[in-house]
Amino acid sequence: MPELSRRRALTAAAALAATAGATSVVASGAAADANAAPAQDPTGHDHGHASPAPFDEVYKGRRIQGRPVAGGGHQHHGGGYAVFVDGAELHVMRNADGTWISVVSHYDPVPTPRAAARAAVDELQGAELVPFPAN
């Protein structure tokens, strides 16, 4: 049997520490998820599987709208929900954790489609939303 070198001992210790750390993180995350209430927006709408409520408002001078949609379009990405900024569709997608992202603010998840529309208006800084070609 080969002699245990310092390199092998340190590698084994690092692997053991990483495995133990990952196990405790997964276990604590599972416990927190089991005790957590479903994600809700300030109006109390459940974001587990229910579609968010429709909205229609003017935000920073831009008209933003959102509503559930049935069939067709990008339902598999937007969870059956369509969002518009000044009449142009803002493609949104629901993440596995219930947060939402848009084609404009893809790396900044928000809790609701309304928040995604507002984030897009902020990011556009007055520019027009250009239609995104469908695949």
Q: What digits encode the pLDDT tens for the residues 73-86?
A: 444 455 689 999 99
Q: What is the model's pLDDT at position 57?
A: 97
Query: Comparing C-alpha atoms, which of 106, 104, 117, 129 is closest to residue 59?
Result: 117
- Token pair 């939303």 in the structure block, residue: 129
**Using CB atoms within 10 A of its CB, is residue 59 exposed (0-12), middle (13-18) or buried (19+)?**
middle
Predicted TM-score (pTM) of the model is: 0.59
